[in-house]
Every structure is written in C-alpha cells, then in structure tokens.
A and B are shown apart, each in its own frame.
Chain A
Amino acid sequence: MDDKKWGPWRITVYALLIYCVLYYLLPLTVMLFNSIKDLDELKAGNIMAFPSKITFEPWVKAWSGACTGITCEGLSGYFWNSVSFVVPAVLISTIIGAFNGYVLTMWRFKGADAFFMLLMLGCFIPFQAILLPMAQTLGVLGIANSTAGLIFVHVVYGLAFTTLFFRNYYVSIPYEMIAAARIDGAGFMLIFRRIVLPLSGPIIVVTVIWQFTQIWNDFLFGVVFSSGERQPITVALNNLVNTSTGVKEYNVDMAAAVIAALPTLFVYVVAGKYFVRGLTAGAVKG
C-alpha cells in the first residue's frame, strides 16, 4: 500500500469511514432538524429534510412548558434535579475511588486482593438485582426518596468502577516513589495529596466522564428511588414523551431529548481528548 497517493485502497477506506460517520450522525441530525421545525412542517414533510422555517419554540416549550405527567413546567426543574445529585455523586465516587485505588496499590493490607476481587464483582451486578435491598437500606438510613438517597445509590454503585480505574492506573506508579516519600517522612495522607494525586490528572478525567455519563443517563435508579418533584431529567423525559394529552408534539420531544443529552455531550467535548489519553496511557514517566 502506498500512503501518499490516493490509490483505490485509500479511497475505499475513506469512503467506508465517511459512511460510518454519516451513519452515526444520522440520528442526531434527525433529532436536531426536527427539534427546530414547527409542528405543521413536521407532520407534512419528510423527517430527513432540513427545516424550511427555523423555530426555537419547541426548545423553549421543552425547557419550561411541556407537560411531564400532571405538571406542565418543562424539563428545567428536573434538569437541575439531575445536576444536584449527579455532581456530588460523581465527585464523591471519584474521590473515594482514588482513595481506594491508592490503598489497594500502595498500602496493601492482608486480604487486599480478595477485597479487590469482591469489589470487582460489583461491576457485574445488574441494576435490577439491587433494587429491593437498596430500597431497604435507604429506608433504614432514613434517606429514601431524597436527593441524598440518590447520591448514595450512585456512589455505592459507582465505587466498583472508580476503584477499578484508579487501582489499575496506580499500579503503574513505581512503588519506589512511595518508598522514597515514606523515607522523606511523608505519611499516608501527605503522600496521597502531594505525590499520587498530582499524577492522577488523566485518570480523574476518565473517571469523571464515565461516572457523569453513567449517572446522568441512569433511568432505573432515578425512577425507583425518587418521586414527583425530585425525579431526574431522564425520568422526566420519559414522562414528557409518554404524556398523551392532545397532539403529539414530536418537535418538543426531540428538543427535550437533546436537552437531556447535552450535559454528557458537553463533558465529552471538553474533556474527551483526556479521556482517550487516559485510557491508553497508563504509564507514568518518572
């Protein structure tokens, strides 16, 4: 294969890639197009067509006027609901994960491997399996049906993943570096703060993106462990789409779906390059 010239091989590869790009962009494009069409055009025309008259009315309605069940106040309240538990849940699970990873690699205790194995099992437990025991636990803790409860659920469920991420990243930090710091006189917390955390940039980004996406997009925990006004945006979106009074406003549905997806999109765009870097580069140059 020659790589300078546009040979048939090269053209084939590019054609295939462009096809794939279009294929993946198509749903998003359809959603965006139809979220800025008015209802008449939507009903009359082709859903693939570019809107002839652009209107942001559906977006406004989705945000502040659409009916989600009994109330008709749009997604805005639920959006902030989601933010209010996703941000703390992401931060807490990331911090604890980093800490767990640090302990599991640098301060190995008796049974650390068994502990890690058990924790890893958590990655394979389906959401549905823990619904009932979790409901009971939340009840006992007195945080059922609250934002704190939802944060708790997501932190617990996310820990297995965040610990795995940090642990696998930290095993590449040479033990000698920790030994050197111990001899220098640094203690457990100081080594974590001054030596280990400053090296953790890429893996923190990976974990934050992962956790943010998981928790923001979660529907099941949201629908089970919260109700009414405190529900997350995913549940509200579902209610909005399924509310069946009057005319089915597909443009509003589309706008609402895009609104619900925007934060994860935003996180990817901002931190995506670190995501790839963090996933591939495990080695810490010392």
Chain B
Amino acid sequence: MGALSIRKVRKSYAGLEILKGIDLEIAKGEFLILVGPSGCGKSTLLSMIAGLDDVTSGDIHIGDRRVNDLSPKDRDIAMVFQSYALYPGMTVRENISFGLEIRKVPQAERDATVDRVAQILQIGHLLDRRPAQLSGGQRQRVAMGRAIARNPTLFLFDEPLSNLDAKLRVEMRTEIKQLHQRLGTTIVYVTHDQIEAMTLGDKIAVMKAGELQQFGTPNEIYRNPANLFVAGFMGSPSMNFIKAKVQQQGTGFALALESRGKQFTVPAVNGDGLGAYLDREIIFGIRPEQITEVVDSHGPNPHVIRQTLDVELTEPTGPDTLMLVNINGARVTARVCPDFAKKAGEQMELMFDLTKSVYFDPKTEQRIQ
C-alpha cells in the first residue's frame, strides 16, 4: 500500500459534482503534484486529504489508515497554505511550536525542534518577530517551518508560491525541492503552474473539471500526453496544434500541410493508429522545440524534414527566439537559436523533428496511438 491512496473519490456540493471519481496512489517519499486550471477541483481534493472537507464517496488512505472519518489533527499531516495562514498574534517561534504545544510535547523538545527547523530554513534571526514584520518570502519559510516541526507522514502544499514575486518563486521552488530531498517526506502539492509541476514532481496528476486527465511522471506527461488538454496544458510555450488531413504515403501515412500557398507533407511518425482517419482531419501536435533552425547533427533521417516558411512574428526570450509561422491556418511556434533567427517578413528554413509527433482525434480530443 502506498503512502497515500485515493480511491474513486467524489465530491459534490448541493448536487453539483466537483470531483468525479479520482484514483491516485503514491509511494512513500514521493512528490505528487496536482495541477490544472482553476476550478478543476485540485484544491478541493487537497482539502479532502487534509480533512477540511468531507468526502462524498470513495476512500482516502494515508499509509494503511482509512482517514475519511478522521479529523485533520488525527491524520498526521501538515499543510502549507497559499496565504501562509500564520497566526498574527504569535511570534515566529510560537507559530512553529504551536502544534507541538497542543500535542503536549515537553518544552525542552519543543525548543530543540524550533532550533532545528530554524536552522534548516535559516529563519533563526526571525524567531522573535511577528508575522506582520516579515516579508512574503520569510512568511513562506515560517509556514513551511510550522509544517516541518510536526514531522508528519504527509505534507500538503496548497499553491504555496503563488503569492510570491517571480524571482522569489523560483528560489523557493528550488528550496522546496531541496527540502524534499533532504527530508524524504511524502508531499502532495497543488499548483496551477505547469513549470512548478514539471520541476518539482515525481508524479503529476493533471486535472480538469473534476476529472483526472492523466497521472504519471513529468516525463510521461510531457512526452506522452493522454489527450489534447494535457498536451496543451503542460509545456511553455505550449504545444502547436495543427489541423491536418491524413494521406497514404507508402506503407505509412503523411499529413498534408500548407503555409501561405506552399503545399508540403510531413510523414506521420508513430502514426500507426491513423489508418482509421485516412482522408480525414486530425490534430497534429508538435512542440516548439521540435521546430528549430537547421542543425546538421541529425544526419540523413527520414523523421526530420526541412521546410522554408514565412516568418510572421518573432519573440526573443533570451536563450531562444520564438518564431511564429502559419501552417494550415494555425499559428505555429518554432523555437530557434537567436543567432539564426530571422525577422518578421523574411523566410527561413526550419527543421521539423517528427520523432515526438503526437496526434489527436478532433472530436474526442483523445490521443490517437
């Protein structure tokens, strides 16, 4: 049995179904990310794991205990909130040791824990301040300290970084990852930020409208998205979706493409499932980093094609320049080394690496394997 298992969990409020049967399981020490757009039910699911919300049906197990009917304090969990939720009337020290005090941990042990936590998070100099006297990043640290102090079997994070500015967010993200490696605890982390999801998670659960879209490692989610939503949600800039007609090409299939009157085809690599879609439109998905300037290192490869296209817009990001071209009426982003980038209105030969192409049914939006 895993450290946390969620089985057929449903939640409804006044007849409205918020969660429509979620199944998840993670092992001890794993970092689970719940990610999805707002309103997808990820925070509700976290609240249910914490015991702040009731489960309508289904089971939640933490370790080998079914916790559905346990109150939050008996679940052996700690939670870090988006608003930090520090106790304003207490000093940092009191904030951190409050949970221990309630659990009647002896004073000496409490002091030792506070010192240990302060050391880990480098907040020793803040211990006698009140939350109002701390910056956002410091409050975040204290909130984590409060969670760590109790040494629970499960940590819950509810969008802990979304109130921080961009730079601090990246720093804290790294720190959370280090903390996880150092403490080896099991973490459930809710975010709407797909970069946080990719960088932090051992496992990612992508959710939308109360349903689990896909559950897997970051790599699986990125490489093998189960459907159009997951493919579009994960990755920045997001995957290009091009509506294209499937054609027979030798023993396999090809996709008919057009750009500003220029007709060309690309082989449908990994497109064994496209037989049923012959002469019909499907959605062809290709990530921006698979459309680049021509790089010779590939050698002759039938899965890599070249095509000269009109550049419509360029967006330099620093390490890469994003170039927008038009294919089949869709704006397609290519990710090009800035040294090779052309200006808008010019033409540029681009290289399409098709080895990671994916295809989706335009109606069901499911992946065509």
- Chain A residues engaging chain B, CB cutoff 8 angstroms: 174, 176-177, 179-186, 190, 194-195, 198-199, 284-286
A-B contact pairs, 25 of them (CB 8 A): A176-B81, A176-B82, A176-B83, A177-B85, A177-B87, A179-B47, A179-B52, A179-B72, A179-B85, A180-B79, A180-B85, A180-B87, A180-B146, A183-B50, A183-B72, A183-B78, A184-B99, A184-B146, A184-B150, A186-B73, A194-B87, A194-B89, A199-B88, A285-B132, A286-B84
Partner of B88, one of A179, A184, A284: A284
- Chain B residues engaging chain A, CB cutoff 8 angstroms: 47, 50-52, 71-73, 77-79, 81-90, 98-99, 102-103, 131-132, 146, 150
Asked if B85 contacts A286 (CB within 8 A), the reply is yes
Partner of A286, one of B71, B72, B86, B102: B86
- Asked, given contacts A195-B89, A198-B89, A285-B132, whether A186 binds B102 with beta carbons under 8 Å apart, the answer is yes
Asked if A182 contacts B71 (CB within 8 A), the reply is yes
Contacts of B84 in A (CB 8 A): 286
Asked if A183 contacts B86 (CB within 8 A), the reply is no
Query: Nearest CB to that of A184 among chain B residues?
Result: B99
- Secondary structure class of chain A's binding surface, majority of residues: helix
Asked if B88 contacts A185 (CB within 8 A), the reply is no
Partner of A182, one of B72, B87, B90, B131: B72
Asked if B73 contacts A184 (CB within 8 A), the reply is yes
Contacts of A185 in B (CB 8 A): 73, 99, 102-103
What is the bound-complex CA distance between A185 and B149, given in angstroms? 13
Contacts of A182 in B (CB 8 A): 52, 71-73
What is the bound-complex CA distance between A284 and B131, given in angstroms? 12
What is the bound-complex CA distance between A195 and B102, given in angstroms? 13
What is the bound-complex CA distance between A174 and B99, given in angstroms? 19
What is the bound-complex CA distance between A194 and B103, given in angstroms? 15
Partner of B85, one of A176, A190, A199, A285: A176
Asked if B77 contacts A183 (CB within 8 A), the reply is yes
Contacts of A179 in B (CB 8 A): 47, 50, 52, 72, 79, 81, 85
Contacts of B51 in A (CB 8 A): 183
How far in angstroms is the closest Cβ of chain B from A190?
Answer: 7
What is the bound-complex CA distance between A179 and B51, given in angstroms? 10
What is the bound-complex CA distance between A96 and B228, given in angstroms? 56
